[in-house]
């Protein structure tokens, strides 16, 4: 470096110093304004408690707070039943801990009320985990939830109940008779202003990164573009510090006024209208203001498909190419649509059989039955287990993740019209018939009692109000009523530690079918091809692109399966300020020109609505977090899962993985469903008190394992 360059760099550094000082002042002013707005919000929340019909969940949504935060500000809005509150010695204190259970209570045979007991299998001798030494007595007291129990619907008697054993007339999932059209797609690094289009990259001037400026810059370079994926930069978070919630910031960015662009209204097949407001993966749909019917261009997040994890825009585009190529080997007409969910559903529809019993399509259940499954079929298990059930100081934090987990549970699914099973009908079955019913595709309304002496994690979900929706009671003697899939009920009755008492109150028994089997096999094959490519390719960029593409296949399956659940539609939109909002609209945010809102629109007449499939797979996956069998052919050669770890060592459940305080001898064969060691954080580690803290520790554990290796 010569003197002239040195002097120029010093001058530039002084300018940067001035800019940093100005930015620091702006941040301080913004923080002061944020504190002012936060205090104003608290006053408004407290004021709403004066309205007799005010409800904490509604106030929480409108304010961007959790239900617990709303209740702390306005205790009058506490939705906990009065009887539950009266039972607490103090609203902030946990319930009193029960006396420690005996360390070795004899295991009773599993019992089903008004029915013969189901047989509990003997302990499996080839189980790889050695029998743990007796653990010290642990007070298994879970903190009192912020809100009380939630009552689940049941199957009505008489004519009303017939609708719960019916399908929707004239509605079924049929194989499409058209070829999906591909969209012209480009990839944009909004941080660096680099656009990847076809086989070249172009540097763009994005201005202030508003939607209109991004669209102008992209279409000037790549005319005819219909979809823009943002791989880095997240422009929808620009200026987020000015808003009380991230969702408000995203909504404001999506609706940034533009003379050249307007919100798309949609038309024709698969042409969605309006924006989708999401904190991190929003979708903006725009049309030219001068010709709104001439076409739609979407701005979307690459994070819908996979976490780019620092990959450059060219690598992200290459990952998309590899994904398409891998899918085309299994579907001649495969097309990558806007989201993994749309792509997964479209690919599945092209596996609907053309011969056999279901050649005419799979019938869609009645709206009443879909509503029941929506209310009673929870998704993946997410649970942070707190002291005293685990130590305050963790000796280590070890993370295991099930590889491509849901793909293992697609080989069998419920089909057709279910048969209702009453408590009396179940009691009249033989022991063999009961076991077969539970092992079949089924969904059960049950009353559960945790056995005396139980000192491990909870096995069955219990409904509660509030953000968590489901908890997993494990206190000895705890009793609750819930719904669960047959796999979970059977595990509770036949686990190797101690059987739980389960009273069958009623249930739905489906025909066993394979509607997802072919779809799952093809996706597993595409995933395996990409995973192998990510390990053996000589070029580092190609290896990374193949890995990202394999993650995208996972998203296609995961979100495609979630799409079958077909929750009641949540419609969002915008209305000019001052005009009437649609009935039932909930305001998400507003500026001087438009109000952004959302509202529930009930169940649509969707031919691809199959919540019975999603509920069955989710139930099987939750059961496998507790007990998964390793098989060689039909022979069981080992077990893995939370129930095969020592009591008091399980810290966290996270959909398809668990975290513990010590390593487990679970073999990893690279097959779907296997438990892979994903992270190891050496202790002592302060126990995380929230999911956010856990996720930070999980990241540290993954980094440590990557640095030291699996043999540390």
Checking if the pLDDT of 423 tops 60, the result is yes
* 417, 165 contact by CB (below 8 A): yes
**Average pLDDT, integer, range 464-475:** 85
- 486 in Cβ contact with 173 (< 8 Å): no
Give the least confident one: 192-196, 266-270, 527-531, 652-656. Answer: 266-270
What's the CA gap between 384 and 651, in Å, rounded? 6
Q: What is the DSSP letter of 579?
A: S
- What is the model's pLDDT at position 324? 97
Contact (CB, 8 A) for 127 and 517: no
What is the structure's pLDDT at 76? 59
| Size of the chain in residues | 712
Look at residue 6 and give its three-state secondary structure.
Answer: helix
Q: Are 546 and 319 in contact (CB under 8 A)?
A: yes
Q: Output the pLDDT for position 122.
A: 32
Inform me whether the pLDDT recorded for 108 exceeds 80: no
Nearest to 203 by CA among 186, 225, 185, 188: 188
Q: Which residues of 139-174 are buried (b: 16+ CB within 10 A; e: fewer)?
A: ebbbebbbbbbeeeeebeeeeebeebbbbbeebbbe
Residues 15-35: tens digit of each pLDDT: 887 888 788 788 777 877 787
Q: How far is CA 19 from CA 15, 16, 22, 26, in A?
A: 6, 5, 5, 10
Summarize the confidence of residues 324-350 as an average pLDDT: 95
Q: What does the pLDDT average to over 335-358?
A: 94
Cα–Cα distance for residue pair 286/276, rounded to 1 Å: 12
- Position 124 scores a pLDDT of 30
The average confidence (pLDDT) of the chain is 84
- Give the confidence band of 173 by pLDDT, cuts at 50, 70, 90: very high
Distance CA 318, CA 540 (A): 12
349 burial level (CB within 10 Å; 0-12, 13-18, 19+): middle
| Whole-Å CA distances, 288 to 183, 184, 264, 297 | 17, 17, 8, 9
State how far the Cα of 691 lies from the Cα of 697, in Å rounded to an integer. 10
Question: What is the pLDDT, as a whole number, of residue 625?
Answer: 97
Q: Can you give the pLDDT at residue 129?
A: 32
Report whether 308 contacts 287 (CB < 8 A).
Answer: no
CA 138, 143, 144 angle in degrees (round to 5)?
Answer: 135
What DSSP line would sit under 619-640, residue for residue? Answer: HHHHHHHH-EEEEETTEEEEEE
Is the pLDDT score of 490 beyond 90? yes
**CB neighbour class for 675 (10 Å; exposed up to 12, middle 13-18, buried from 19):** buried
pLDDT-derived band of residue 41, with 50, 70 and 90 as boundaries?
confident
Q: What pLDDT is attached to residue 49? A: 60
Q: Give the residue-averaged pLDDT of 278-298.
A: 90
**Structure token digits, residue 454:** 């139980």
pLDDT at 291: 85
Residue 418, pLDDT > 70, answer yes
DSSP helix, strand, coil percent of the chain (3-state; round to 5): 35, 20, 45
∠ CA(165), CA(166), CA(172), 5° rounding? 140
Q: Is 274's pLDDT higher than 60?
A: yes
pLDDT computed for residue 711 by the predictor: 64
What pLDDT score was predicted for residue 19? 83
| Tens of pLDDT, residues 50-91 | 565 677 777 877 888 877 677 667 665 665 544 434 444 443
Residue 531's region, left for phi above 0, alpha for psi from -120 to 50, else beta, is: alpha
Q: Radius of gyration over alpha carbons of the chain, in Å?
A: 27
Least trusted range by pLDDT, from 84-88, 134-138, 294-298: 134-138
- The mean pLDDT of 578-606, rounded to a whole number, is 73
- DSSP assignments along 545-565, one per residue: HHHHHHHHHHHHHHHHHHHHH
* DSSP one-letter code for 475: S
pLDDT value for 53: 65
Residue found under tokens 């259940």: 365
The pTM of the full predicted model, rounded to 2 decimals, is 0.74
pLDDT number for residue 145: 41
Q: Which of 89, 131, 50 is nearest to 665 (CA)?
A: 131
Higher pLDDT: 368 or 229? It is: 229
Q: How confident is the model at residue 46 (pLDDT cuts 50, 70, 90)?
A: low
pLDDT digits (tens, 9 = 90+) for 213-260: 999 999 999 999 999 999 999 999 999 999 888 988 999 999 999 999
Count of alpha carbons within 13 Å of 662, Cβ hemisphere only? 12
Comparing CA positions, the residue from 481, 492, 482, 485 lying closest to residue 510 is 485
Q: Report the share of the chain in percent with pLDDT over 70.
A: 83
For residue 383, the cross-strand partners are 653
The Cα–Cα gap between 250 and 264 comes to: 17
pLDDT at residue 198 tops 80: yes
- Greatest mean pLDDT among 104-118, 136-150, 212-226 lies in 212-226
Q: What residues pair up with 681 in beta bridges, in sequence order? A: 397
Least confident of 80-84, 591-595, 611-615, 651-655: 80-84
CA distance 67 to 60: 5
212 alpha carbon, distance to own chain's centre: 31
Cβ atoms of 647 and 455 within 8 Å: the answer is: yes
Cα-Cα-Cα-Cα torsion 538, 541, 547, 550, nearest 10 degrees, comes to -100
Of 68-77, 435-444, 490-499, 505-514, where does mean pLDDT reach its minimum? Answer: 68-77
Instruction: Assess contact for 514 and 613: CB atoms under 8 A.
Output: no
Q: What pLDDT is stored for residue 24 in this prediction?
A: 78
pLDDT in tens, 553-584: 999 999 999 999 876 656 667 788 878 877 77
Q: Pinpoint the alpha helices (H) of 291-422.
A: 313-328, 340-349, 367-376
Edge-to-edge strand ranges of the sheet holding 200-203: 200-203, 194-197, 185-189, 227-232, 297-301, 284-288, 261-263
């Amino acid at each position: 470096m010569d003197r002239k360059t040195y002097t120029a760099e010093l001058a530039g550094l002084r300018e940067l110093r001035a800019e940093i000082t100005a930015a620091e002042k702006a941040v301080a002013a913004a923080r002061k304004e944020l504190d002012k707005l936060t205090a104003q919000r608290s006053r408004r929340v407290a004021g709403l408690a004066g309205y007799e019909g005010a409800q904490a969940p509604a106030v929480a949504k409108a304010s961007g707070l959790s239900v617990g935060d709303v209740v702390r500000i306005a205790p009058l809005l506490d939705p906990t039943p009065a009887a539950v509150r009266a039972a607490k010695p103090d609203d902030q204190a946990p319930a009193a801990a029960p006396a420690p259970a005996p360390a070795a209570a004899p295991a009773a045979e599993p019992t089903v009320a008004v029915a013969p007991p189901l047989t509990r299998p003997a302990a499996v001798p080839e189980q790889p985990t050695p029998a743990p030494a007796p653990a010290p007595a642990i007070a298994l007291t879970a903190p009192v939830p912020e809100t009380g129990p939630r009552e689940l619907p049941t199957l009505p008697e008489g004519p009303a109940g017939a609708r719960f054993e019916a399908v929707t007339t004239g509605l079924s999932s049929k194989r499409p008779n058209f070829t999906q059209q591909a969209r012209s797609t480009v990839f944009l690094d909004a941080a660096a202003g680099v656009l990847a289009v076809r086989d070249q990259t172009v540097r763009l001037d994005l201005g202030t990164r508003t939607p209109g400026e991004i669209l102008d810059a992209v279409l000037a370079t790549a005319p005819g573009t219909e979809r823009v994926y943002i791989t880095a930069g997240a422009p929808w978070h620009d200026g987020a510090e000015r808003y009380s919630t991230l969702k408000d910031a995203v909504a404001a960015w999506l609706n940034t006024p533009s003379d050249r662009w307007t919100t798309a209204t949609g038309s024709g097949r698969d042409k969605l209208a309006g924006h989708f407001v999401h904190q991190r993966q929003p979708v903006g749909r725009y049309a030219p203001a001068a010709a709104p019917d001439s076409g739609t261009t979407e701005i979307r997040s690459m994070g819908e498909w996979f976490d780019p994890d620092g990959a450059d825009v060219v690598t992200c585009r290459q990952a998309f190419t590899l994904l398409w190529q891998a899918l085309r080997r299994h579907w001649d007409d495969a097309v990558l649509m806007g989201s993994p969910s749309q792509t997964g559903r479209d690919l599945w529809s092209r596996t609907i059989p053309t011969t056999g019993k279901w050649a005419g399509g799979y019938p869609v259940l009645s709206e009443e039955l879909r509503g029941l499954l929506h209310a009673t079929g929870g998704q993946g298990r997410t649970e942070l287990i707190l002291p005293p059930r685990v130590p305050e100081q963790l000796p280590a934090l070890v993370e295991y993740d099930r590889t491509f987990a849901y793909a293992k549970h697609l080989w069998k699914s419920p089909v057709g019209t279910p048969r209702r099973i009453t408590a009396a009908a179940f009691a009249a079955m033989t022991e063999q018939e009961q076991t077969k019913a539970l092992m079949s595709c089924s969904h059960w309304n049950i009353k559960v009692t945790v056995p005396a002496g139980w000192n491990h994690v909870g096995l069955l979900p219990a409904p509660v109000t509030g953000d968590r929706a489901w908890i997993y009671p494990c206190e000895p003697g705890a009793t609750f009523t819930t719904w669960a899939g047959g796999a979970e009920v059977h595990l509770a009755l036949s686990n190797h530690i101690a059987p739980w008492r389960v009273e069958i109150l009623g249930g739905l028994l489906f025909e066993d079918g394979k509607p997802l089997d072919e779809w799952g096999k093809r996706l597993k094959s595409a995933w395996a091809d990409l995973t192998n490519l990510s390990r053996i390719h000589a070029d580092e960029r190609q290896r990374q692109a193949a890995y990202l593409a394999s993650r995208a296949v996972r998203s296609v399956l995961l979100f495609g399966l979630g799409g079958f659940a077909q929750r009641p539609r949540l419609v969002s939109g915008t209305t000019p300020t001052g005009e009437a909002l649609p009935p039932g609209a909930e305001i998400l945010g507003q500026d001087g020109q438009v109000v952004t809102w959302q509202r529930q629109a009930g169940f649509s007449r969707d031919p691809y609505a199959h919540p019975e499939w999603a509920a069955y797979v989710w139930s099987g996956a939750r059961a496998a977090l507790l007990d998964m069998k390793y098989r060689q052919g039909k022979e069981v050669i080992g077990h893995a899962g939370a129930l095969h770890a020592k009591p008091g060592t399980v810290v966290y459940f996270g959909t398809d993985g668990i975290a513990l305080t010590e390593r487990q001898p679970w073999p990893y064969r690279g097959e779907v469903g296997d438990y892979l060691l994903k992270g190891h954080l050496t202790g002592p580690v302060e126990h995380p008190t929230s999911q956010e803290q856990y996720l930070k520790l999980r990241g540290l554990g993954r980094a440590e394992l990557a640095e030291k290796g699996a043999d540390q």
